Amino acid sequence: MSQQGILFLCATPIGNLEDITLRVLRILREVDLIAAEDTRHTRKLLAHYDIHTPVVSYREQNRRQMGRYLLSLLAAGRRIALVSDAGMPGISDPGEELVSLSISQGIPVVPLPGPSAALAALVASGLPTSSFCFEGFLPAAAGARRRKLQELKGERRTIIFYEAPHRLLESLSDMVEILGERQIAVARELTKKYEEIWRGTLPQALEHFRLHSPRGEFTLVVAGAREEEVAGTRDESWRGLSLQEHVALLQVQGMDKKAAIREVARLRGMSRRDVYNQVVRDGEGNS
């Protein structure tokens, strides 16, 4: 009987090479293959720890073709380690798709915890950590970015974003306009030599980084909405609309269907599943 393949999700350092775990180092040595987002970046890490396991590139541009290849190896019993350039694979990178494919084929997926820029920034932010949401990178297009922030305006939980240096000022400017005077922690170059965690209000952050050119990768931790802000975002004009009409109204206003269903569920105190099921049922009844 052939050995069953396993996909290992190996968290790698986000800056300081000493942050890798002993277990990840062992697995990287033992597996048959390492699938890396940027092979040049990963080979530097492997060279530092004298690891000679073969490496292939698995990135956004080749994820479909390479995903099928990796899946065939896993099905044949190979053990593969998936790594990203930094942090946990599957978070804001193409690893998510390979994990889903592996699970659909009954291939075991084993996570090996480790560094995370999002969690490191959160716990050092000084903002509430008991309830938070991670939104990854905001859309690059201005209109889509503003719509996303508008959707999050009533979010009570602490919100975590990633942002690239060349888009930081644009994102902060939109946040000031849409989210107002909220507190923010801006974490830069976490675990590296020039690590910086700047704390203040959104307008202060915008002014600070206008004066100090943004460099490095950024993690933004933004305070959630206060109760009075949430109350101010409540639009009661939907009362009297059916669920289907309410969802359609939000779509006309610029939301996609998934976001509209989520917002309708929030406003009406319903579960997203119930809203979705009823909208689909009503739509079929009208067809």
Q: Do the Cβ atoms of 264 and 275 come closer than 8 Å?
A: yes
In this prediction, residue 1 carries a pLDDT of: 42
- Is residue 247 predicted with pLDDT exceeding 50? yes
In this prediction, residue 47 carries a pLDDT of: 97
- Is residue 233 predicted with pLDDT exceeding 70? no
CA 201, CA 209: separation in Å to the nearest integer? 12
User: Over the stretch 110-155, which tens digit does the pLDDT of each residue have?
Assistant: 999 999 999 999 999 999 999 999 999 999 999 999 989 988 998 9
6-115 belongs to CATH 3.40.50.2300: no
Kindly list the distances between the CA atom of residue 186 and the CA atoms of 91, 183, 191, 194, 228, in Å, as whole numbers in the listed order.
19, 10, 14, 13, 25
Average pLDDT over residues 167-188: 96
Average pLDDT over residues 3-10: 93
Residue with tokens 């492997």: 46
Residue 219 φ then ψ, to 5°: -120, 125
Residue with tokens 């597996």: 31
In this prediction, residue 149 carries a pLDDT of: 92
User: Over the stretch 11-34, which tens digit does the pLDDT of each residue have?
Assistant: 999 999 999 999 999 999 999 999
Task: Return the domain boundaries, the chain.
Answer: 6-115, 118-230, 235-286
- Is residue 40 predicted with pLDDT exceeding 60? yes
118-230 belongs to CATH 2.170.190.11: no
DSSP-based helix, strand, coil % in the chain, nearest 5: 50, 20, 35
User: Over the stretch 58-96, which tens digit does the pLDDT of each residue have?
Assistant: 998 998 899 999 999 999 999 999 999 999 999 888 899
> Please, what is the average pLDDT of the chain?
91
